[in-house]
Structure 1
Amino acid sequence: MSRSHYLALPDSDRTPRRGAVVAGPVSPTETLSVTVYLRRDPVAAATPDPTDYALVPPTQRAAPDEAALNAANRAVPQDVEAVERFAARHGLTVSSVNQLARSVRLTGTTAQMSEAFQVTLARYTYRDRDQRHRSYRGREGAVHVPAELHGIITAVLGLDDRPLGANLLTRQTARIPLAQLPARAGGGLPPGAFLPTDLAAPYAYPGSLDGTGQTIAVLAFNGQTQPGVPSGGYSPSALQTYFTQVLHAPMPQITDITVHGPGNDPGQDDGQGDPADSTGEIMLDLQVVGALAPGAKIVVYFTEFTEQGWVDAMNAITTDTANRPGIISCSYGNPEDDPGSAWTRMAITAVDQAFAQAALRNISICCASGDDGSRDQGSDNRAHADFPASSPHVLGVGGTRLVAGGGQVVSETVWDDGPGSATGGGVSRWFPVPTWQTSAPVPPSANPPHHKGRGVPDVSALADPQTGVVIISVDGQHLVQIGGTSAAAPQWSALLARVNQGLGAPVGFLNPLLYGKLASGVLRDITRGSNGAYPAGPGWDACSGFGSPGGQALLDGLKALGAQHARIPAPAAPTSSEVPTG
């Protein structure tokens, strides 16, 4: 088929990663897989609005009608067949079909993929922030699809495998040999540091609850180091040592699922290995979640640092009917709009659509808001919001500096140690102000022309590495002090697991009720500090949101809302004539 019979896929345009140059062509025989996402069935009933559904208190909210949701989100069988015929024409293999996600995985050589999607694939090289040489398979311009599939295919992911989704952790340099730790939990820690369990009292986690009956999905990204070099994972034996010998608590139940990449592939977390190794991040997330919600089941979804890895993982979690996670903990992100961004609008839209589906399935998503203040590692001296925290369907989690004593908060301020060590937050360029956020004092963007957009974060928790959490290294022999909003997001994930248990119902998408009914008197308001462009103040602000947990107050507030309402059914689906075709 000639190029004249192809059309550009909307929002698929790519430019090279910042600083990247073409090193040469890719091998035409290199094998790769792409994931093709399809439109919803145009005649299927529309799904309810996630905000309308989330405004009903959890204890009075009708359970999701999974059959109706699946039917409303189905792909047209003829669309799947059309993609399969297209694949056969180009010698591509259909390796899997996910009906619930409306996705088709295709496998073939780079030569076949280049011809099928009318793109030129090349090998790009660049230097990362540590001046290490990196490379990726990339493209420039748009992906193209045959005219008869235009409007049917909504995204093609995997042709370009540039990394995205940086770990959002900040490490202190001190490494404490485990043998030096006194027998009692918490003894011998650096001044001002916390074991994760120490946060339950100052943050008022409901004391009689432990997350029993809940499942927390932990996103784990890896697969971007050199071939044969470990790229990220966790050590069960090190975790066993931490929980039993340091916390004197049971080892949590952990299940692994591999969406893309090598799966659990632990490397180093001592700062001496490859910076792309995500082992430290994964170890941090599992220890914080497991310590603060010890009764919850943890499912680790391993995937790759690519657009395809992101979108496929989010759809895998949302459609996982075997494990049915009620909470997703996400400690990764990138500036949503940096020049040469790792994100295309096509992929951002696909991720956000998965988030919206998660909201309708009563799944809470806690996303770290970034660790580089309002600039968010942008290259243009402008303010940037971090995606996926900037999605209007997630709970964006910022960071604070916490000082506590005797189980009580002594002081808490916005985390801001300067460039490279400060909480993310700001105003989204891509997402407008959601209806549930219109009552909050979201400032105009710090960037000209000072537009209005979704404000981030929604809440916050301890993130400053100088008052950070102490966890065990992957070697099982050292303790390390770590901060970052990737420590704050799992704190909130664990808290929501306890709240779900206490309610006997999933919180799901918290933001509409948080902003509409629980904006005052529930969380600990953070009024001092800034993250660069955005200062803290009374009430919501673009560096700490509404503040840090009041866990028991949040549980009590949600219970009270439920008591004030009779059971309300889920919103009726609009008629098919109101259904968007994308």
Structure 2
Amino acid sequence: MTPVPRSPYLALPDSDRTPRHGAVVAGPASPSESVTVTVYLRRPPGAPPAPSLLAYAAIPPTLRPAPDDAALAGALHADPADAALVARFAAEHGLRVGAVNPAARSVRLTGTAAQLAEAFQVTLARYRYQDRDGRRRSYRGREGAVHLPAELAGVVTAVLGLDNRPLGGTRLARRTARIPLARLAADDTGLPAGTFLPNALAAPYAYPSGLDGTGQTVAVLAFNGQTQPGVPSGGYRLDALHTYFTEVLHAPVPQITDVLVHGPGNDPGRDDGQGDPNDSTAEIMLDLQVVGALAPGARIVVYFTEFTEQGWVDAINAIVTDTANRPDIVSCSYGNPEDDPGSAWTRMAITSVDQAFAQAGLHNISICCASGDDGSRDQAGDALAHADFPASSPHVLGVGGTRLVVDGATVVSETVWDDGPGSATGGGVSRWFPVPPWQSGTPVPPSANPPHQRGRGVPDVAALADPQTGVMIISVDGEHLVQIGGTSAAAPQWSALLARINQGLGAPVGFLNPLLYAHFGTGVLRDITRGGNGAYAAGPGWDACSGFGSPGGQALLDGLRKLGTTAAQARIPGPATGTEPSGAVI
């Protein structure tokens, strides 16, 4: 199915595709189908050096200079001449130029499937496959590489949207408990034993008291758009959230704003497990309730996009370059095995997402990513261990999961979440990303897979995720409480904690990992030393199941304050310039 490109076309590096597992060609894509692709461009060769994220993130937040928007624009924005080359290419092939985002270095092009196939020298086909739930599904796809004319080689770094296979499952684990709201007593005695309302986690995890995230903006990633035609694909209902916050939590309803990147936008369906398995309503409702309960003063912005490579990359870039909402923290509860052949990611898309994450760090934005819910195998179709992307990016805070038992506000026990296959925290060693400099002093084990190479270790931290001791949130119907877990619950717990810490510091934490690993590896977080996730086991200190452990919120805030006070007596350098040393080419 791979066409022979005409000279002088060249293959776009790292753009190769193979069919999804079990997919077969059902026929050609409709030639008249309207398709929009996003073209990403290089950083201009003549631009000033990009600031070093490692140098910037190593400065204590209270002493860190605010991002210099003008300097970042000069170093990171697209060259107008490169965008003009793409526009000329589009005109030659009858394609329409849509949104141009210089800050993201992206250009959207729209045309028919036939026009785009000819322009990029690919064959577009319709593929059919059977999903895990037994339903037959299809996608528009391609095989082999995308090709570019010689004048665009090296200018264009990614072309996304030709292939729209689903990518990025939720990191959410359900329990069967589903109780009528009316059964909940005023003293919460109607909750299943061992479960929590999300705001009850603030005490055992020592979230800083007197702080609620006021002044902070948390971006929540919301993926949908991959259900059957006419079937809702995911969203939230404000009336249900209003009932939950006012009648259950007795707390203010969070301020929520929607931003549409791709897809249908807020499209709530079912969250009772009886609808389309690709309906992300339960995930979105969970994220909003956990963030809103633990950081009730924070503003929440929901970025709706599709479960595709294009949806991922465009959404992350939309967040990083959003000058209207200016998020401080991103909560991401989705992912895929980073290296499962044929399943999801191309290398060019992983690189594009990671570049956006690095740019987020330069804008002082924190990113919290769930590490997966299927142990070390991460739902891959082989017998190997896999790290989950985007948690495996060296520019995010990867969040693993634990099982938490408390007596009031006192932690009785906390262990690695492992209920067996399909219900255990993700974690492991990245195949794609080397050990980043800030993790070089940490005993990250070699990969469990031959040839046992070393790489970025995941996760960095952890929080409650076991659905057996999970959180009780309101159903989208507004009438039932449901028992939910997964690292989908852990990532927003950390997002909310960072919102409180930012407020307490009076400065954004931004990319936390360099400071976390250098200063707070012991004596700050609760070390999780018991349990495992399949290929990896917990132990004292950092491990590939729980990272450094679960929140010690006040201790982390105090540590960051002290770090700033101590460093204030020394000469603190400004952000250094030069090639980003952690592997990202921003």
Give TM class, smaller chain. Answer: over 0.9
Residues matched between the structures, number: 579
Deviations 1:517-569, CA, capped at 9 Å, x for gaps: 11111000000000000000000000000000000000000001000112735
Alpha-carbon separation, structure 2, partners of 1:532 and 1:131:
27
TM-score by length of structure 2 reads 0.97
Residue equivalent to 1:321:
323
Structure 2 gaps of 5+ residues are none
Given the alignment, which residue of 449, 452, 464 partners 1:450? 452
Residue equivalent to 2:248:
246
Residue equivalent to 1:432:
434
2:11 is the counterpart of 1:8: yes
Residue equivalent to 1:459:
461
| Post-superposition offset of 1:187 | 2.8
Alpha-carbon separation, structure 2, partners of 1:181 and 1:580:
49
Match of 2:206, SS state, is coil
> Where does 1:134-533 land on structure 2 (aligned, <5 Å)?
134-184=137-187, 186-533=188-535
Letter paired with 1:139 = R
1:119 and 1:142 in contact (8 A); partners too: yes
Residue equivalent to 2:576:
572
Match of 2:412, SS state, is strand
Deviations 1:343-384, CA, capped at 9 Å, x for gaps: 000000000000000001100000000000000011110000
1:45 and 1:575 in contact (8 A); partners too: no
Match of 1:341, SS state, is coil
Letter paired with 1:417 = D
| Post-superposition offset of 1:4 | 1.3
| Post-superposition offset of 1:182 | 1.3
Match of 1:419, SS state, is coil
Letter paired with 1:487 = A
Deviations 1:291-335, CA, capped at 9 Å, x for gaps: 000000000000000000000000000000111000000000000
Deviations 1:203-244, CA, capped at 9 Å, x for gaps: 000011000000000000000011111000000000000000
Residue equivalent to 2:22:
19
Letter paired with 1:176 = I
Match of 1:4, SS state, is coil
| Post-superposition offset of 1:181 | 1.2
2:64 is the counterpart of 1:61: yes
Given the alignment, which residue of 76, 79, 82 partners 1:73? 76
Residue equivalent to 1:38:
41
2:55 and 2:576 in contact (8 A); partners too: no
| Post-superposition offset of 1:580 | 10
Residue equivalent to 1:108:
111
Alpha-carbon separation, structure 1, partners of 2:436 and 2:452:
17
Deviations 1:274-304, CA, capped at 9 Å, x for gaps: 0000000000000000000000000000000
| Post-superposition offset of 1:258 | 0.3
Deviations 1:455-503, CA, capped at 9 Å, x for gaps: 0000000000000000000000000000000000000000000000000
Deviations 1:98-117, CA, capped at 9 Å, x for gaps: 01001000011000000000
Deviations 1:20-61, CA, capped at 9 Å, x for gaps: 111111110000100000011101112112111111100011
Letter paired with 1:178 = L
Alpha-carbon separation, structure 2, partners of 1:437 and 1:109:
46
Alpha-carbon separation, structure 1, partners of 2:145 and 2:12:
6
Alpha-carbon separation, structure 2, partners of 1:470 and 1:574:
48
Match of 2:178, SS state, is strand
1:523 and 1:549 in contact (8 A); partners too: yes
Percent identity among equivalent residues? Answer: 78
2:355 and 2:585 in contact (8 A); partners too: no
Alpha-carbon separation, structure 2, partners of 1:423 and 1:212:
31
Letter paired with 2:504 = G
Deviations 1:235-280, CA, capped at 9 Å, x for gaps: 0000000000000001000000000000000000001100000000
Q: 1:309 to 1:550 in 2, by over 3 A?
A: same
Match of 1:564, SS state, is helix
1:42 and 1:580 in contact (8 A); partners too: no
Residue equivalent to 2:124:
121
Q: 1:274 to 1:16 in 2, by over 3 A?
A: same
Match of 2:376, SS state, is helix
Alpha-carbon separation, structure 2, partners of 1:448 and 1:329:
33
| Post-superposition offset of 1:174 | 1.3
| Post-superposition offset of 1:183 | 2.7
Match of 2:518, SS state, is helix
Alpha-carbon separation, structure 1, partners of 2:269 and 2:422:
24
Alpha-carbon separation, structure 1, partners of 2:578 and 2:541:
36
TM-score by length of structure 1 reads 0.98
Match of 1:524, SS state, is coil
| Post-superposition offset of 1:179 | 1.3
Letter paired with 1:88 = A
1:62 and 1:568 in contact (8 A); partners too: no
Alpha-carbon separation, structure 2, partners of 1:458 and 1:4:
47
Q: 1:280 to 1:580 in 2, by over 3 A?
A: closer
Letter paired with 1:122 = A
Q: 1:2 to 1:539 in 2, by over 3 A?
A: closer
Structure 1 gaps of 5+ residues are none
Q: 1:248 to 1:121 in 2, by over 3 A?
A: same
Match of 1:52, SS state, is helix
| Post-superposition offset of 1:581 | 8.5
2:5 and 2:147 in contact (8 A); partners too: no
> Where does 1:515-554 land on structure 2 (aligned, <5 Å)?
515-554=517-556
Letter paired with 2:443 = P
Letter paired with 2:201 = L
Q: 1:575 to 1:245 in 2, by over 3 A?
A: closer
Alpha-carbon separation, structure 1, partners of 2:572 and 2:239:
47
Q: 1:2 to 1:168 in 2, by over 3 A?
A: closer
* More deviation, 350-359/337-346: 337-346
* More deviation, 544-553/2-11: 2-11
| Post-superposition offset of 1:146 | 0.5
1:100 and 1:319 in contact (8 A); partners too: yes
